[in-house]
Structure formats: C-alpha cells, structure tokens
Structure 1
Amino acid sequence: MVAEDGFRDVFYSAQDGLKLHARVYGEGNPGLPVVCLPGLTRNARDFHALAKKLSTHETEGRKVIAFDYRGRGLSDYDRDWRRYDVAVEAADIISGLVALGVEHAAFIGTSRGGLIIMTLAGSRPTLIKAVVLNDIGPVVEGDGLAQIRAYLQRSPKPATLDEAIKIQKTVHGEAFPALNEDDWERFTAALYKEEQGRLRTDFDPNLLKPLKAINLNRPLPALWPLFDGLAATPLLTVRGENSRLLSSRTLEEMATRHPTMQQIVVPGQGHAPLLETGSLPREISAFIRRAEKSLQTREERRHSSASVP
C-alpha cells in the first residue's frame, strides 16, 4: 500500500538473512527505474523530495527505489560491524533489486552510494544503465574523510530538532551558504529518529568502527579501475563547490577518462549537495531521459541489424 507521502515501504532479506528496507515511489510507472543510494550514515529519507519529483513528473514519472543500508534507517543492525562494508552493501542492493524484480536501472549515489555503484559496475555491469555520482569519485580526499570522522566521533546529542538544526548549521554552515531554512530542516530531520522523547541519529553507532580503522596518515587507495568500469555508461557527476571529499583535480581526471561524462558544480554547497535543490532535479531528470533514449536507439539498431537477412 502506498502511503499518503507517495511511497511504499518494502522489506527484504539479505543473503545472510538480515532484514533490510527500501522505499518504492511511483510503482507501476513505465520507463527506466531509478535507484537511489545514500551516504555513509544517511538513509532513504535523504532522497524523499527528489524521489517525489522524479516519480510524479507529468509525462515521465518513474519508479524510484531508495535504499536503507544495513544499520541505517529501518534496516536491521548487523551484529558484526565488519560487515558494514561497501562490497557487502553492494550485494544487499542486488538482493533488494532481485526481490523487487528490477533487472536494470539508472543509479544515483551520494558519497558512499557512489562507491557502491562503482562496485556494482564491476560485478553486475548490465544492471547499470546510467549513473549520477553525487560528490564522489575514485579518489577520496583524506582531509575530507578526516573531517567527517572527527565530526561523527564527537557528534553532539541534541534534544530537539531545532537544536539539531543549529548544530548542523554550526558544523556545515560555512560549506553550505546556499541552503535556506527549509533545506536545513529537511536535511537535518532525515538524519535523526525519535526514541523515548529524544532524538537519536538513525544509524548503528558501530558504523564508526570501520571508519576509525582507516589510517589517514597514508594516502587512501584510488579506485580508478572501478571508475573505468563505467566507461560505456552515461555518467553525470555532481560536485559541491566547497567539497573537501571530491577535488576539482579528481573531477578533471574523471572527465579525461570518461570524455562523455557530464558534470555539474553546485555553488554554495559542500559535501554532499542536496540533490532536490535548485535546478538539480530538472537536470538529473533530463540526464536520465537522454540516457534512456540513447539506450532505446541502440536497442532499435541492434534489432534492426539482427533482422537483416
């Protein structure tokens, strides 16, 4: 049953039996579905505004699926924090798409979600028909990751949403001068849940253990071979103007390796841009539409050449 706010909650089992959650918008809509993958400690609610816009378009409404990884949102927490791992989470997404009967889709990945997409491109390339990478690339800047880790380790515990919004503004306000009050409230509310009258971050605290284990005194391994797996896939990369995780230098190298890659630099936002703001929904929708038409044209040519005696 679809709720009043436009989505249906779906629960499915991972390969190890963990119960995982996804939101499905626009069920029954034709066309190429869209799969939305959030950042490290984020969840499906991050994509609510964008998913509603993509799924309710007057002429091109699409099915949109937004996932909660294990340990986030409405998905079960894993007893073994070592399984909070990109490869495991990629396998979880495959299980979810199988359960939903989705054979291929356009993928939108914010931060960690983009790493999962690149992993999927290596293991299930036919699954991915178009990609939007939101402020992530094959080189993750160590100082940006250090900033994220430091914030999460000392993250305050607000009592109210208003207090939480003030904290987020204090921490991220310099990197996100473009956000308005509604943006801050929407961004912050998606990070928390209410338990026993208090706010709690909506993720397993054990998620920080793999992050703590990373030695930031050494350069992080570059993932260019995984990125190169997207060479034949329509690609749009979004970078926050003030991002410290995806550098302009890496973005330039990505464009060199993927000459047809489209790119958007979002003014007044850092890591990671809110994809429902400004013209981004329209540009993302147009990109997916172009990718879909290109796929249809190639398929028609393939059938035409196969039918020639």
Structure 2
Amino acid sequence: MDHLSLVTHRELEIAVRVFHPEAPKTVVAWHGLARHGGDFAALARELGPEWRVLAPDTPGRGLSSWSMYPANDYVYAHYMTVALAVLDHFSLDSVPWIGTSMGGLLGMLLAADPASASRIERLVLNDVGPELDPSGLTELASYFTVPHRFTRLGQLEAELRRHYAGFGIDTEDGWRQLTLESARRLPDGSWTYHYDPRIGEQFVHDTPRDTWSDWRAIRCPLMVIRGEDSTLISEDIVQRMGEAQPTLETLSVPGCGHAPMLDRPQQVDPIKAFLDSTTSAQQEAVDANALPWWKRWLGIGH
C-alpha cells in the first residue's frame, strides 16, 4: 500500500488502500466476505505502475469502521452505496472493477442496476457468479457466523492454512504475510481474525434476488476467473454464464479453489490484457470522435 484514503459514508469510515497513487489508469479491486483490500498488493505489483489500484476495506473488515447496526449495514444494498461513495470520493465516473467472491457480486449488482451501471466500465469476477454451489455457500455461512478465538498466533496461522487452502498460496512467506494481515489481538491476549464477527449476519439479513436476471442485464465487458478446484462456482455455471453473455472471457486457474489470490503473472496477465482491451463499440466511438465535426454531422465515415 502506497497511500491510505479515509472516506466517510454516513456514520462509517471506509479505509481505501491505494497502490500506485500517481498512475494514469485506475481500477477498483474489492475483496471477499472476510478479507480486506490488502489482499490486492500482489495484484497491484503485477499490474504495474501504470495502474492505480483502489482497494477498499468493506465496513466491518480491515481498517474500516464496524457497524452498530449489522442488519442495515452488512448487506449488499448498503455495500452498493459505500462503493458509489468511494467512486464519488475519487471522482470516478466509470472504472474497471475486479471483485473476488463478495466483491465480485457487489460489482455485478452495480453493473446490473440502471442507476449505477454506467459507473462500471468493465467487470472481472474472481471465483463467483450469479449462481453459487449450495454446499460451498453453506460452508462459508457456517464458518463466518461463529466467532473464532486462538490462544497462540501459530494456531491462527494453522487455521488460515486450512481454511484458505483454495487461495493457492505456495510459499511460507505468503502464509506468514496472510497471518500478519489477518490477525487481531483480543484484550485477554488471545487472537482472532481482523473482521467484525457479525459480518456473517449478512447471510441472515440480506434480501434474496434473481441474480441470473442481474447477470443478463449487464452490458459492460465481462471476465470470470474460476479456481480449477472451486467449491463455490462450477464449470457448468461458468458455461451458463457464457451462454447468457456470449462475449464473456474466462480463465481457469490450476492449483486453486476458492479463490485465486491474483498474485502471479499467470493469473494477472490475462486480467491486464482484458483491462487494456477496447471493445469494438468503444473503438467505433473513438474513431467517430476523431473525425472533424462536419464529417460526423454529415455521417461521413460511417
């Protein structure tokens, strides 16, 4: 992280980790259910210095405020207003969005909603989609709706290695870094995770919706990444996503489950190519605007 911005939204303070703050291009990277924006440090490094990466901590996670009203604030409808407040803070009319798990669903909802669709220029979903495997979702809900407490930091690290095996982390330094960025000390000296234990109430309070309808409504360029061993999104779901959105780009990541960390060239290079690509419609608009005004008025060049 090169800079930290603090955005006030209603009564909550949102911490936004900024990588390459002076870069000419910007992408928003939004984390999963129980993670935080620090997970995208390696993504920022691999994207390179031409990309400013804005990585917010969702309320209840990382450095952001915890809510006194989880039933109101730890739900997607509120996260959408938080996301728009972040975009407004940075004066971003339209921006590419990379979302892991919950962060991907948040980007999908923004891109599908007529009131916010224009704010998402293109969307990358990391191991998530409009339909999730029920057993994988149940496992997530069961894990994050109960508090976790560890007597020693080493116990917390061991549990991280077990629970987040799907991240594909394959170095001791990687696991130690994840531990340092995930731990919070309790008053009695024991350890727990960084997040508010009540974030799991999202599974109770959030309103069910037809996310396939949301998926079909999206009009921006789309890419989905799936961990080869994902327990949350199947190959069949990815195939159906492509049938509903024929221009969808896909990437399968070997050696990962839910969800790839986006921390190495094999995972990030395809994302970078997608972010840098220009759709035919965008190119036509660029070409048209390059014509003299009188040719555009007469329709010359079309």
1:50 maps to 2:43? yes
Which residue identity does 2:239 align to in structure 1?
A: E
Shift of 1:160: 4.3
Q: Tell me what 2:107 maps to.
A: 117
Counterpart of 1:227 (choices 205, 215, 220) is 215
| Secondary structure, aligned partner of 1:282 | helix
- 1:48 & 1:253 partners in 2: Cα distance? 32
Q: Tell me what 2:247 maps to.
A: 260
Counterpart of 1:75 (choices 58, 64, 81) is 64
Q: Tell me what 2:130 maps to.
A: 138
Contact between 2:108 and 2:123, CA under 8 Å: does it hold in 1? no
Q: Aligned runs of 1:100-249 on 2, under 5 Å? A: 100-121=90-111, 122=113, 123-154=115-146, 156-173=148-165, 175=166, 179-194=170-185, 198-212=190-204, 222-230=210-218, 232-249=219-236
- 2:276 & 2:18 partners in 1: Cα distance? 20
After superposition, give the CA deviation of every residue in 1:118-165 in whole Å (9 maximum; x if it has no partner). 111113111111111001100022111111122224564234443322
- 2:59 & 2:230 partners in 1: Cα distance? 26
Q: Tell me what 1:3 maps to.
A: none
Q: Tell me what 1:41 maps to.
A: 34
Q: Tell me what 1:27 maps to.
A: 21
Q: Which sections of structure 1, spanning at least 5 residues, go unmatched?
A: 1-5
Q: Tell me what 1:91 maps to.
A: 81
Contact between 2:46 and 2:265, CA under 8 Å: does it hold in 1? no
| Secondary structure, aligned partner of 1:63 | strand
Contact between 1:149 and 1:212, CA under 8 Å: does it hold in 2? no
- 2:167 & 2:12 partners in 1: Cα distance? 36
Which 10-residue stretch deviates more, 156-165 or 94-103? 156-165
Please report the RMSD computed on the Cα atoms of aligned residues, expressed in angstroms. Answer: 2.5
1:297 maps to 2:291? no
Which 10-residue stretch deviates more, 248-257 or 198-207? 198-207
Q: Which sections of structure 2, spanning at least 5 residues, go unmatched?
A: none
Contact between 1:139 and 1:222, CA under 8 Å: does it hold in 2? no
Number of residue-to-residue matches in the alignment: 291
TM-score (norm 2): 0.87
After superposition, give the CA deviation of every residue in 1:222-272 in whole Å (9 maximum; x if it has no partner). 411111232x32211001111111111110001111111111111121111
- 1:92 & 1:178 partners in 2: Cα distance? 30
Which residue identity does 1:98 align to in structure 2?
A: D
Instruction: Call closer, same or farther: CA 1:207–1:306 in 2, change over 3 Å.
Output: farther
1:277 maps to 2:270? no
- 1:276 & 1:304 partners in 2: Cα distance? 38
Instruction: Call closer, same or farther: CA 1:84–1:199 in 2, change over 3 Å.
Output: same
Which residue identity does 1:25 align to in structure 2?
A: F
- 2:42 & 2:169 partners in 1: Cα distance? 17
TM-score (norm 1): 0.85
After superposition, give the CA deviation of every residue in 1:92-122 in whole Å (9 maximum; x if it has no partner). 0111111111221110001111111111111
Instruction: Call closer, same or farther: CA 1:145–1:250 in 2, change over 3 Å.
Output: same
Q: Tell me what 2:238 maps to.
A: 251
